Amino acid sequence: MQSLNHIVTFLSSEPAHNGGGEEAQHELPNLVTILNEYVFGGTSVGEFLHHWENAIFSLAIVIILVVVARFAYRNPQLVPRGLQNGVELIIEALESFIVGVIGPHGRKFVPFLGTLFLYIFCSNLAGLIPLMKAPTANVNQTIALALCVFFYVQFTAVKENGIVGFVKHLMGEPRSAIQWAFVPLMLPIHIIGEFAKPLSLSVRLFGNVTGEDILILIFVGLGVAVLSFTHLPIGIPLQLPFIFLAILTSFIQALVFMLLSTVYFAMILPHGEEDH
């Protein structure tokens, strides 16, 4: 009951300002937040936890994925079953999806794009688990993911097309005199478009996950507020329907991020390597 009172107090109070400039609370209190507020508040440990909160949960998700992969292939069987069978089904589904968009040459991008999907999906789901947090609700996290895609796409473009081919791609691959005449217009448009890709990827993911957290926070607060006039021992879980919706949207957002990243790779591959 004391932990419930802590959560109610946290939801109804203004967020603490550790160093000032902290944004308004838009998510449920997580384990690190509670430790910072009620156990290590005002200490160097509390400041460390608060500063690296997002990195802590990101690392936790990475460790979970590594442990699952390790256990799945600890003793691989020719005829997979159990955890190995489940992991292989997921990998085969991701490979089929990516190869279907890029073509046979897309298999070399499956480890990167597949890991990207699994990490984002698990990060999105983490915000729905009590005392956990969705790292993707932090714009720094989504920008970092989008930049990974951006630099890998640019590296692949130069590697597959060469410097001259990459520049021609940015020019719109002109062949006729009229197309060359439009190069001064097309080149800056394509450059702006390349830089807009990581921006759109990061903002879309951050906005959707943050919106889910805010919605769930509001209905959790309403459910807890019911305690004040119903005198029930527990609050009403008004957020429950939205949690099921958030599970679906978490999958969709991870899929959209991976799909757009896959399309970016398909767009920069030389013509003839794409299998439609």
pLDDT score recorded for residue 25: 62
CB 201 within 8 A of CB 142: yes
pLDDT score recorded for residue 34: 85
Reference 31, options 163, 126, 136, 151; nearest CA is 126
E-strand stretches of 40-112: none
CB 128 within 8 A of CB 250: yes
pLDDT score recorded for residue 47: 85
pLDDT score recorded for residue 24: 47
Taking the chain, what is the end-to-end CA distance rounded to the nearest angstrom? 60
CB 238 within 8 A of CB 223: yes
pLDDT score recorded for residue 272: 52
pLDDT score recorded for residue 223: 80
pLDDT score recorded for residue 5: 47
Say whether pTM exceeds 0.75.
Answer: yes
CB 157 within 8 A of CB 166: yes
pLDDT score recorded for residue 89: 93
Q: How far apart are CA 276 and CA 274, in angstroms?
A: 6
Residues of the chain short of pLDDT 50, as ranges, are: 1-24, 273-276
Q: How far apart are CA 265 and CA 270, in angstroms?
A: 10
Q: How far apart are CA 244 and CA 222, in angstroms?
A: 18
pLDDT score recorded for residue 185: 85
Q: CB neighbours of 182 closer than 8 A, spacing ≥ 6?
A: 172, 174
Residue found under tokens 């830089």: 195
3-state secondary structure of 30: strand
